[in-house]
Amino acid sequence: MRGRISFRQGAIQHIYQNTVGGVLIFYSAWDTLVFFTTFSTAARRYDVRILGLCLMVDHIHVLVDARSKKELDAFVCLYTSWFVRQYNVWYGLKGSLFNRKYGLASKVSDKDIISAIAYLYNNPVERQLCVRAEQARWNFLPYAESGRRSPCQLAAGASAELCTAQPDDPKAASQREAAIVGLHCIGV
């Protein structure tokens, strides 16, 4: 990717991570869901706002809003180390899965942010995994398009509301329905 820029405070950050030797990250929906769970937990821990996520079989793209480079580094380190540790246990491997340093490009202007969003969501189309970006299973675009709460939003707090709400609460019922429909959209 051209135009790599180091972290800029207040900018949208485009993170991209490739695997060592181009090996596959996700062999199954289970791998993807475990990654997503660790990713969401790390985002919540470091108060990183997720604006876009696209999981490809051999790399990932993320758009985030983070307060500092230190928090961004801690976020990436946490979700990467948690996932790779589990991945290595499952597949009997050792060592790194991702390249040592993740790629980062700060997006400041509206044009750059829009271009990064288009690039992220169209990655599966460019790889000929689908015809339209909305058809990609693991880019979570159907949530942005539908107005439903995304898995990232659910993981960042709505799940606690869903667990503690009364069964006859209309708001909770609506959130539960959106969560179920949302999970169905991503093929769970």
Model confidence pLDDT, tens digit, residues 58-108:
899 999 999 999 999 999 999 999 999 999 999 999 999 998 788 899 998
DSSP string, 15-54: EEEEBGGG--S-SSHHHHHHHHHHHHHHHHHTTPEEEEEE
Same-domain pairing of 58 and 105: yes
pTM: 0.70
Same-domain pairing of 12 and 103: yes
**In terms of C-beta density within 10 A (0-12 exposed, 13-18 middle, 19 or more buried), how is residue 136 classed?**
buried
| Domain limits for position 176 | 141-188
Domain boundary among 139, 159, 177: 139
Non-local CB neighbours of 141 within 8 Å, separated by 6+ positions:
121, 133, 134
Same-domain pairing of 115 and 175: no
Same-domain pairing of 135 and 148: no
Band (180; pLDDT cuts 50, 70, 90): very low
Count of domains in the chain? Answer: 2
